[in-house]
């Protein structure tokens, strides 16, 4: 039977790799309708937020004294955008399609002492300005240092507020603001209609100390340092604009248009292109091969050992020598005895089923291209909504398992399933949000959004958990499917060797599942905390499939060794064996914090570890549930394969 399954497994592997290859190249459905622009049509640039990888605290664009319109208008935001701290507002940067403009003056301002201090702080923390044009984010092209013309251009999301530097011959460090932005709008033109679609939005920043003659007159003053009529353009930052209280700063910009062969449907491809594509492929394939090889070895050992055990036990039964039996068959009368704190285990399992359903549905939508990168906040919104609707599965799984333990208080289990993990996560989130609010960051979730989250929780998730619990508890009891009866008096457990100590086996069991995901975990953490694009859900699906297989197999193997030692208390240990990988995930997150991030603020560090604590807890219930159900299936299988009086 195992031999016949090998071609099927290989076929499944090929399909998964092909799916991963397709999705890794950024396949997506655009998500929004294209906009066609005629020549001289108005293009309005929207400003998003100020973001920093050093503080992880976003701020509104107009929290700094940039040039602002007479009326600031906020664009509509979805739930995911609000939770991410996105604030999309109008700006004074207005272009005309395919009409280049040079040395356009935005405004002139003189900084107060506090405003200059704010600018210097944002420059020290390496804040970036984020803008949007036709739903495309502003990027800064970064060329390869190797002067390789064939190397793809990488992009930095957003442009820095300014830079620190020194004047020639001076050792004193100064702060300089990027007050001149040279925009490049790429478009794809239809030759038949002469209509154009925007396919790129790039910028090159400069710091220049503008000069002019006479008195300043709005819309009349011509700059000496940037005047297309005298052919003086800003092409470098040789005379930079220093950030200093009382000094005037003139904000200017250029805009050029460039026709491109890139079609509108593919305009995100260059943004999503990975510069380390080959390294990523090698790492994933290497991890895949190692895990599959190890899993194959474990599967063969288990099949051969179990086949020998089952043959021996059945032969002993035919020879009436059952009284001399040893090993896992000896505990058949206790193996399905309800564990201690059975209700809590049911709650954990139900919560894990809810997360498993959420991830499967979200990954399916992402692989099919339904979560477009142009739909900012769409991924987070989808995850929250799917999680709420998966409450019915959580309640069903928890109640069905609880009835198998011969419990009767299914409503209490349903209530704990609906409130335990979401309540703990919401409490941590509330504290972290209070810290963000104290920093006056735009990333603080407003009260109305908090109310919406509570309504989503109590209005959708909690009722569905109770519906699922009712359906699960009314189904036939799981004990009717148990292949053996449970003795009234529990059998004493013999002393176990040191390597089968519960703490030892649990810690060992989490290493392999973590090893299957830590490479992809690096890319995910980089995307989240270093503000890079991530749209390689094909790779993520492959890693998730490897994780499921690894958690199941390592839990089954250690469960088998435990039963062979005549230790029948496998319920909790099977959950903790796979779930302990969350401990290694949190330790890796701490390692990543100290080696890859440059966070210096205490609040930012608390935010990082707070969010990673929530993520690790979710990973714990997910992997623990996978290991538990694998062992549950395994024990039912082996005890139904032997003859027991």
pLDDT in tens, 563-610: 888 888 889 999 999 999 999 999 999 999 999 888 888 999 999 999
User: Is 4 part of any domain?
Assistant: no
Parallel, antiparallel, or unpaired: how do β-strands 136-137 and 128-133 relate? antiparallel
Cα(490)–Cα(467) distance, integer angstroms:
35
Question: CA 392, 398, 399, 401: dihedral to nearest 10 degrees?
Answer: 140
Cα(185)–Cα(56) distance, integer angstroms:
29
Cα(531)–Cα(525) distance, integer angstroms:
9
In 178-229 the beta strands, taken as DSSP E runs, fall at: 180-189, 196-206
Residue 71 sits in the same domain as residue 106: yes
Q: Quick one: which of 536, 540, 560 has its CA closest to 548?
A: 540
Residue 516 sits in the same domain as residue 437: no
* Secondary structure element (H or E) that encloses residue 132, with its range: strand 128-133
139-148, 321-330, 629-638: which has the highest mean pLDDT? Answer: 629-638
Please, are residues 625 and 349 in contact by the beta-carbon 8 Å criterion? Answer: yes
Last residue of a domain, one of 431, 465, 481: 481
Q: SS3 letters for 47-92? A: EEEEECCCCCCCEEHHHCCCCCCCCCCECCCCHHHHHHCCCCEEEE
User: Is 25 part of any domain?
Assistant: no
User: Average pLDDT in the 53-78 region?
Assistant: 86
pLDDT above 60 for 191: yes
**More confident call, 110 vs 319:** 110
User: Is 492 part of any domain?
Assistant: no
Return the pLDDT at 193: 86
Parallel, antiparallel, or unpaired: how do β-strands 248-259 and 180-189 relate? parallel
Query: Apex CA 105: angle with CA 102 and CA 107, to 5°?
Result: 160
Radius of gyration of the chain from its Cα atoms, rounded to whole angstroms: 30
Residue 103 sits in the same domain as residue 159: yes
Please, are residues 403 and 350 in contact by the beta-carbon 8 Å criterion? Answer: no
Last residue of a domain, one of 214, 241, 271: 271
Which of 291-300, 386-395, 428-437, 589-598 comes out lowest in average pLDDT? 291-300
Parallel, antiparallel, or unpaired: how do β-strands 159-160 and 154-157 relate? unpaired
User: Average pLDDT in the 485-510 region?
Assistant: 80
Return the pLDDT at 3: 37
Which of 26-40, 370-384, 538-552, 573-587 comes out lowest in average pLDDT? 26-40
Return the pLDDT at 281: 65
User: Is 330 part of any domain?
Assistant: no
Residue 145 sits in the same domain as residue 258: yes
Give the total number of structural domains in the chain.
Answer: 3
Residue 298 sits in the same domain as residue 356: no
pLDDT above 80 for 623: yes
Helix (H, G, I), strand (E, B) or coil at 439: coil
User: Is 32 part of any domain?
Assistant: no
Residue 296 sits in the same domain as residue 204: no
Residue 587 sits in the same domain as residue 624: yes
pLDDT above 60 for 336: yes
Helix (H, G, I), strand (E, B) or coil at 194: coil
Residue 547 sits in the same domain as residue 442: no
User: Is 488 part of any domain?
Assistant: no
pTM: 0.84
Return the pLDDT at 157: 87
Return the pLDDT at 467: 94
**More confident call, 475 vs 426:** 426
Residue 115 sits in the same domain as residue 192: yes
- What phi, psi does 475 have (nearest 5°)? -70, 160
**More confident call, 88 vs 26:** 88
Return the pLDDT at 608: 94
Which of 130-139, 169-178, 313-322 comes out lowest in average pLDDT? 313-322
**Per-residue pLDDT tens for 201-213?**
999 999 998 888 8
Mean of all residue pLDDT scores within the chain = 82
Cα(254)–Cα(242) distance, integer angstroms:
21
Residue 173 sits in the same domain as residue 71: yes
Return the pLDDT at 564: 82
User: Is 19 part of any domain?
Assistant: no
CA distances from 487 to 298, 325, 490, 635 (A): 32, 17, 7, 17
Structure tokens of 274?
């990975």
User: Is 160 part of any domain?
Assistant: yes
Residue 302 sits in the same domain as residue 357: no
Residue 228 sits in the same domain as residue 114: yes
User: Average pLDDT in the 318-331 region?
Assistant: 56
- What phi, psi does 245 have (nearest 5°)? -60, 135
Cα(220)–Cα(291) distance, integer angstroms:
69
pLDDT above 80 for 490: no
Domain extent for 206: 41-271
**More confident call, 75 vs 636:** 636
pLDDT band at 444 (very low <50, low <70, confident <90, very high): confident
Return the pLDDT at 304: 67
Last residue of a domain, one of 211, 238, 271: 271
Q: What percent of the chain has pLDDT over 90?
A: 32
Return the pLDDT at 279: 57
Return the pLDDT at 160: 93
């Amino acid at each position: 039977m195992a031999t016949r399954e090998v071609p099927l497994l290989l076929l499944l592997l090929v399909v998964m790799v092909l799916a991963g290859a397709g999705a890794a190249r950024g396949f997506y459905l655009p998500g929004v309708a294209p906009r066609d622009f005629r020549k001289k049509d108005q293009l309005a640039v929207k400003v998003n937020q100020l973001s920093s990888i050093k503080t992880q605290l976003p701020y509104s664009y107009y929290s700094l004294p940039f040039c602002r319109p007479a009326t600031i208008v906020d664009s509509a935001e979805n739930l995911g955008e609000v939770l991410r701290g996105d604030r999309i507002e109008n700006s004074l940067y207005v272009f005309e399609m395919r009409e280049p403009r040079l040395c356009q003056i935005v405004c002139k301002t003189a900084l107060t002492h506090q405003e200059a201090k704010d600018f210097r702080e944002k420059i020290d923390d390496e804040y970036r300005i984020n803008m949007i044009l036709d739903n495309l984010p502003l990027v800064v092209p970064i060329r390869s240092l190797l002067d390789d013309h064939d190397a793809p251009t990488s992009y930095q999301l957003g442009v820095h507020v300014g830079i620190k530097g020194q004047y020639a011959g001076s050792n004193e460090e100064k702060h300089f603001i990027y007050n001149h932005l040279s925009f490049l709008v790429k478009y794809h033109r239809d030759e038949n209609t002469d209509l154009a679609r925007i396919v790129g939005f790039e910028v090159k920043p400069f710091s220049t100390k503008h000069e002019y003659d006479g008195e300043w007159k709005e819309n009349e003053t011509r700059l000496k340092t940037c005047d297309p009529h005298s052919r003086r353009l800003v092409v470098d930052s040789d005379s930079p604009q220093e950030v200093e209280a009382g000094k005037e700063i003139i904000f200017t910009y250029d805009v050029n248009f460039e026709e491109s062969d890139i079609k509108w449907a593919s305009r995100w491809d260059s943004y999503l292109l990975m510069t380390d594509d080959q390294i990523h492929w090698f790492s994933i394939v290497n991890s895949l091969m190692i895990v599959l090889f190890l899993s194959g070895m474990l599967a063969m050992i288990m099949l051969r050992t179990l086949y020998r055990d089952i043959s021996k036990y059945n032969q002993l039964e035919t020879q009436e020598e059952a009284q001399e039996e040893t090993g896992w068959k000896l505990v058949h009368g206790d193996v399905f005895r309800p564990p201690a704190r059975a209700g809590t285990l049911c709650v954990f399992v139900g919560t894990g089923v809810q997360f498993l359903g959420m991830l499967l549905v979200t990954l399916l939508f992402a692989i099919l291209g339904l979560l477009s990168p142009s739909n900012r906040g769409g991924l987070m919104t989808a995850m929250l909504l799917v999680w709420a609707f998966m409450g019915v599965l959580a309640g069903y799984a928890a109640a069905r398992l609880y009835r198998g333990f011969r419990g009767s208080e299914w409503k209490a289990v349903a209530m704990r399933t609906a409130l335990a993990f979401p309540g703990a996560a919401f409490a941590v989130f509330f504290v972290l949000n209070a810290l963000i609010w104290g920093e006056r960051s735009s990333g603080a979730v407003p009260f109305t959004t908090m109310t919406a989250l509570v309504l989503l929780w109590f209005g959708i998730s909690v009722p569905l958990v109770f519906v699922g619990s009712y359906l699960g508890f009314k189904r036939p009891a799981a004990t009717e499917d148990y292949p053996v009866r449970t003795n009234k008096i529990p059998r004493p457990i013999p002393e176990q060797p040191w390597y089968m100590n519960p703490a030892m086996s649990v810690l060992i069991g989490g290493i392999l599942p973590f090893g299957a995901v830590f490479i992809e975990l690096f890319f995910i953490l980089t995307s989240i905390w270093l503000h890079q694009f991530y749209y390689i859900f094909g790779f993520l699906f492959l890693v998730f499939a490897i994780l499921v297989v690894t958690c199941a197999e390592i839990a089954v193997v250690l469960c088998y060794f435990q039963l062979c030692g005549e230790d029948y208390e496998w319920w909790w240990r099977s959950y903790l064996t796979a779930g302990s990988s969350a401990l290694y995930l949190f330790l890796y997150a701490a390692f990543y914090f100290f080696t890859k991030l440059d966070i210096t603020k205490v609040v930012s560090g608390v935010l990082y570890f707070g969010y990673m604590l929530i993520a690790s807890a979710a990973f714990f219930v997910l992997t623990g549930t996978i290991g538990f159900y694998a062992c549950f299936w395994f024990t039912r299988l082996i005890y139904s394969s032997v003859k027991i009086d």
